Chain A
Amino acid sequence: MVHLPLGKALNFAMQRAMRDDDRVVVLGEDVGTLGGVFRVTDGLSVEFGPNRVFDTPLAESGIVGTAIGLALRGYRPVCEIQFDGFVYPAFDQIVSQLAKMRARSRGRVSLPVVIRIPAGGGIGAVEHHSESNEAYFAHTAGLRVVSCATAQDGYRLLRAAIASDDPVIFFEPKRRYWDKGEVDLDASPASLDRALVLRKGRDCTLIAHGPTVKLALAAAEAANEDGVLVGVVDLRSISPLDVETLRRCVAETGRAVVVHEASTFLGIGAEVAAAVTEGCFFALKAPVLRVGAYNLPYPPAKVEEEFLPDVDRVLVAIDRSLNFGRTPAHA
């Protein structure tokens, strides 16, 4: 066990994968000499050289498009998109090329490509550097979409993503890069499509992923002080959804609140709500509620804390769920 920040754990995941398999290559903007703007690829170019770690031209479509060509040639490329808001120039290569090639070829061509995206807000950044755009990718068949929350889990999930023969969009909560945790570098890769039950509940279940997992745990802790026992599930896999685990946990409490940084409209919370409702309708004591960002373009950084969900908004939602259908006292 080593004590590491998430960013370093992800770095180790790539390093170990590259040591184990010389077909694993890393490419992106400033990932070589600099080690990435968040230093997540730090040291890889020194250890593996310029034929395994590529500082590419500044062109996102090119990064993903050439990664597809490398994968066709038998490589396992790990791409870094510098920031969430800059993945859109590569959108076509991801949704029309990367996602579809296996189906188009009737299963003859697999593309083991990982696209790492530092995502989410909370770091006081300028515009286009704080987006939570996982839903765009989760809507596309042919992709797997993963979101990691902690150092240990980030390490295991990234190793699993690199080992997968499917394309994986891998979201990293950039505001948690510096959060430390115990990491077992010999731990087996995580299962790419299973949610993680972090806390058992009795009264309500919080469902979160990536940056909001920590938030959900804090809210559960606060609720506990009031005698409300709240469970927490970390989705980890956004596509596919681990519907089985979600239904089991929500059936135990009868109430669920989904918490994510993305705007609520057509966000992952909507899909979770539908899946849970369909799966355990009669166990539900209240509709599944969602706490996310307001449906606005990401605002200037000085107001991002009010824009993003926080512990109080989660506690209010838990209250709403617990009191659903009862006449409000002040009415």
Chain B
Amino acid sequence: MSTTTDRPSAAGPAPLRVQDPELQGPIRLVDADGRLTRRGRERPVDVDKACWLYRDMVLSRFLDREAVALQRQGELALWLQSEGQEAAQVGSVHALAAQDHIFPSYREHAVGLVRGLSPAELLSQWRGVAHAGWDPFERRYHFYSLVLGTQTLHAAGYALGCKLDGEDAVTVVYFGDGAASQGDVNEAFNWAATMSLPILFICQNNQWAISTPTTKQFSTPIHTRAAGFGLRTWWVDGNDALAVHAVTSEAVETIRAGRGPALIEAETYRVGGHSTSDDPNRYRTDEELESWRRRDPIARLRVVLEGLGVAPPWFEEVEEDGRALAVRTRQECQALHAPDLADLFSEVYADPHPVLQERAAYEAFAAMVEGGV
């Protein structure tokens, strides 16, 4: 995967961007049963890397399931599940460099986890103690954007800044199939292409936007549309962690080589509801859910690793780490406390502002109520 041209080279396997002739579909290195495809067999599997991908997928699933449990028990107000999308998230973030800046949407818990966010940071927003629970610069991971698609423009501006600074950093932005209908996303595609920005768009097409299927969202696939804007595009099986990783590496490499912006459309599936408040039975069938469960990204990679000789105790260790993370998630969640409203008055403006005087009024009132006056 060191080649940066679109032509097959004698040195290695053909770049993945060339449409897979076998499949007539998204790029896939491992099939649903865990067997390497023809293109999968063309390139050696980096076992170490694959083990990291597997481990991080398992960890994020444990975190996700624990968060759902916490919501059911009233510890969280809401949770947006990432189950089923682990390969699209972990596979892509593992292909990035430390200096690459990420703008997530709101479901990229696995990406955040890999970037080093703690469970407390990831949960605080959903417990209602913060709007944005972490420092976006520290781990080069911006906070979540709930207004769909807005972050794609922030990412485009950020990428423009990187380009002006001459920094060798790729800006990466995640968004969903539903968000792709927003004007902002299409403005961002156009902006990126017109200004030749070092940006990678990653669309996790999880087939649904709450209850709206992709058939009601667009009639041209997102990767085709993006190509029309002038982006270099890849279409990948988003439940195949190795393929997502390979494709993201390739995309990031072309961007770093100064060849302009790119987009990856990862076909995946949200196994849970849209959120813990959603009832997906109202709009999708059990058969559909089952068909996607059979394509589970974690089970699939496990078959590959077993075939490469990774022994059972290692998998048991990973499960053990997952359980420990779940315990930590619960503890950190319960330790998250509400901020003091009084502190918020000084956090709206950088320069002095009369709203600071409202803090005194609020505190005087709070003291009066507390004093029972």
Contacts and interface: CB of A to CB of B under 8 A. Distances in A.
A61 B182 CA distance: 11
A103 B157 contact: no
A243 to B, nearest CB: 7
Interface centre among A61, A74, A105 (most CB of B within 10 A): A105
30 contacts: A57-B187, A59-B187, A61-B184, A61-B187, A62-B190, A65-B154, A65-B157, A66-B153, A69-B154, A69-B155, A70-B157, A70-B158, A70-B160, A72-B161, A75-B164, A92-B147, A93-B150, A93-B153, A97-B147, A97-B150, A102-B350, A104-B131, A105-B136, A110-B350, A112-B350, A142-B349, A144-B349, A165-B351, A166-B353, A193-B353
A302 to B, nearest CB: 34
- Interface size range on A against B: 35 or more
Interface in A88-119: 89, 92-93, 96-97, 100, 102-110, 112
Interface in B143-182: 143, 145, 147, 150, 152-162, 164-165
Closest 5 CB pairs of A and B: A69-B157, A65-B153, A73-B161, A66-B157, A165-B350
Nearest to A68: B154
SS of B interface (majority)? helix
Contacts of B145: 97
Interface stretch (B39-47, B107-115, B239-247, B340-348): B340-348
A72 B102 CA distance: 12
A176 to B, nearest CB: 27
A106 B344 CA distance: 7
Contacts of B348: 102-103, 141-142
Nearest to A103: B348
B153 A166 contact: no
Interface of A: 25, 51, 56-57, 59, 61-62, 64-75, 77, 89, 92-93, 96-97, 100, 102-110, 112, 141-142, 144, 164-166, 192-193, 240, 243
Contacts of B156: 62, 65-66, 69
A256 to B, nearest CB: 20
B106 interface: no
Contacts of B354: 193, 240, 243
B136 A109 contact: yes
B355 interface: yes
Nearest to B144: A104
Nearest to B103: A69
A179 B152 CA distance: 41
Contacts of B150: 65, 92-93, 96-97
B133 to A, nearest CB: 9
Contacts of A51: 164
Nearest to A243: B354
A250 B157 CA distance: 46
Interface string B346-364: 1111111111000000000
Given A59-B187, A62-B188, A97-B147, A107 B158 contact: no
Contact of B158 (A72, A142, A165): A72
B153 A69 contact: yes
B153 A104 contact: no
Contacts of A108: 135-136
A73 B153 contact: no
Nearest to B150: A97
Given A69-B156, A104-B143, A166 B350 contact: yes
- Interface size range on B against A: 35 or more
Interface centre among A72, A92, A100 (most CB of B within 10 A): A72
Contacts of B352: 193
A192 B355 CA distance: 15
Given A75-B164, A103-B347, 11 more contacts: A25-B164, A65-B154, A65-B157, A65-B187, A65-B188, A68-B153, A68-B157, A69-B157, A97-B145, A106-B347, A165-B350
B292 interface: no
B70 to A, nearest CB: 23
Interface in B319-373: 339, 344, 346-355
Contacts of B131: 100, 103-105
Interface string B186-200: 011011001000000
A72 B157 contact: yes
B190 A59 contact: yes
A22 B194 CA distance: 24
Given A102-B347, A103-B344, A107-B347, A141 B355 contact: yes
A97 B142 CA distance: 13
Contacts of A96: 147, 150
Given A69-B159, A73-B161, A92-B147, A102 B153 contact: no
Contacts of A89: 183
A193 B351 CA distance: 10
Contacts of A57: 187, 190-191, 194
A66 to B, nearest CB: 3
Contacts of A61: 153, 183-184, 187
A192 B351 contact: yes
Given A72-B154, A72-B157, A62 B353 contact: no
A196 to B, nearest CB: 17
Contact of B153 (A25, A62, A106, A112): A62
Contacts of B184: 61-62, 65, 92-93
A73 B155 CA distance: 10
Nearest to B145: A97
Interface centre among B130, B351, B353 (most CB of A within 10 A): B351
Nearest to B171: A69
B299 interface: no
